[in-house]
Amino acid sequence: MQSIRPPAVAGTFYPGEAETLSRSILAMLADVDKGEFLPKALIVPHAGYIYSGAVAASAYAALANVAARVRRVVLLGPTHRVAVRGLALPDANAFSTPLGDVPLDTEAMQRLARLPQVSVNAKAHALEHSLEVQIPFLQTVLGDFKLLPLAVGMATVEEVAEVLELMWGGEETLIVISSDLSHYLPYNTARGVDSATVQSILHMESGISHDHACGATPINGLILAANRHRLTPHLLDLRHSGDTAGSKSGVVGYAAFAFEEGSGGHE
């Protein structure tokens, strides 16, 4: 097993210099309301920080009341460059960003690797941005924690939910799903499509399509598991690249959600 997966998109998706990166994240976090949430799970966008960083910050700021207890982050995001059957673990024991190295939960990885839908695939992680862009935020808002990163490819909702169930844990475990919403639709069209997707998530309906969210598979898996555990979803922010940076002729949708334990869930 190689030791460290180096950053692939530092300097492009987010600042590559530690001080600039830290200052940027702290500024985005300071600009959003922390709220009174106690999240067990988050859905967070994964574009370049200039586009979706402010939306992501609304999710990570919501961890303020649970951050001290989190010791493990189960991070799932879709593959963008390498075709994968099922879910892929990295061939590494740490992930690096300009803010330092994050140790992986190698014991949990060994347990997950026994599942038929889980494999070890270094190529799936080498250039994947959907997971990497979340890590500097996690390094900023959490204390010491271990990371369990999974690149999600062609998998069923049940296969994803089974992985989440195995890693669910207690208050020490946070689940983060990395996903953008619709891609490259005209601004007004995207607003309608993404509003419908948001309502599906808030109503805990796990039939979201990949046309409406690139991370539909992990989102649907989370919804299935969240229903079983009776979590309650909250929309924290919803914007588009046309709102943050870029043209409105073809936009990407970004939303942030927090899922709390409580009286939620649908039969």
Q: Which among 230, 232, 231, 249 has a CA at the least distance from the CA of 241?
A: 249
Residue 266 lies in a domain: no
Secondary structure E strands in 20-85 = 39-44, 72-78
What CATH number is given to the structural domain containing 77?
Answer: 3.40.830.10
- Does residue 159 belong to any structural domain of this protein? yes
Give yes or no for a contact between 143 and 10, defined as CB atoms under 8 angstroms apart.
no
| 267 — pLDDT class (breaks 50, 70, 90) | very low
pLDDT band for position 2 (cuts 50, 70, 90): low
Residue 128's domain comprises: 18-261
Reduced to 3 states (helix: H, G, I; strand: E, B; else coil), residue 157 is: helix
Inter-helix orientation angle 157-167/216-228, to 10°: 60
Flag whether pLDDT at 263 surpasses 70.
Answer: no
Q: How many domains does the chain have?
A: 1
5 belongs to a structural domain: no
Please say if the pLDDT value at position 188 is more than 60: yes
> Is 163 among the domain residues?
yes
- With a cut of 50, say whether residue 153 has pLDDT above it: yes
In-domain check, residue 6: no
- Give a yes or no: residue 7 inside a domain: no
Angle at which helices 49-61 and 18-30 cross, to 10°: 60
pLDDT digit string, tens, across residues 83-115: 999 999 999 999 999 999 999 999 999 999 999
Question: Is the residue at 188 inside a domain?
Answer: yes
Domain-embedded: residue 267:
no
Mean pLDDT (the chain) is 95
Where does the pLDDT of residue 33 fall: very low under 50, low under 70, confident under 90, or very high at 90 and above? confident
Distances (CA, A) of 146 to 57, 104, 106: 20, 5, 9
Q: Is 229 helix (H, G, I), strand (E, B) or coil?
A: coil
Amino acid at 162: E
